[in-house]
Structure 1
């Protein structure tokens, strides 16, 4: 899995591609987020459009990150999950817990009022 991250207007944007199935992939994602939490960021958008496969470990990390941001008074938004991640979110009923946006612009709009 590859991970890229940027911070713009107080929102951490993470783009993932490949498979989110456990170490070292999940460790890399957690490390990326933790490195930015020192910057007092409370809002995050994770682009899942290029994730081919996600398992329970990957889902668990997303839930952990959601909890981390919400406990700081922030929010985490998932951007355009590909077919398999979308199915996994539906099967686990986590699509009712996560905010899912169709694209980055919508995710930023959803997070910006809270970030200001």
Structure 2
């Protein structure tokens, strides 16, 4: 799996691609999340449009990220999941826990409104 990250307007943007199966990258992602949360970043957009596959460990990584942001009074939004990932989120009922948006503009609006 590959990932990129940046912070724009105090929103962490994380882009994941490949297969999210909780390998070593999961630890690297969590470390980046912790660093940004410690620097008072409370909002995160995770672009998962490039994920081909996700397993239970990968779901665990996403839940860990969500939990870390919510524990600090923040929020996370998943962006543009593929059909297979969207089906997995529905089957596991995680679509009721995660905020999922189809485009970045909507995701940022939802995140900014979550802090009001």
When normalised by structure 2's length, the TM-score is 0.93
Distance 1:6 1:115 in 2: 20
Question: Once superposed, what is the RMSD of the aligned Cα atoms?
Answer: 1.3
Distance 2:80 2:98 in 1: 12
* Equivalence map 1:86-101=2 (5 Å): 86-101=86-101
2:37–2:69: 8 Å Cα contact kept in structure 1? no
Aligned to 1:15: 15
* Equivalence map 1:23-62=2 (5 Å): 23-62=23-62
2:18–2:53: 8 Å Cα contact kept in structure 1? yes
> Any unmatched runs of 5+ in structure 2?
none
> Any unmatched runs of 5+ in structure 1?
none
Question: SS where residue 87 of structure 1 aligns?
Answer: helix
Distance 1:82 1:31 in 2: 26
Moved over 2 A (4+): 113-116
Distance 2:22 2:62 in 1: 12
When normalised by structure 1's length, the TM-score is 0.93
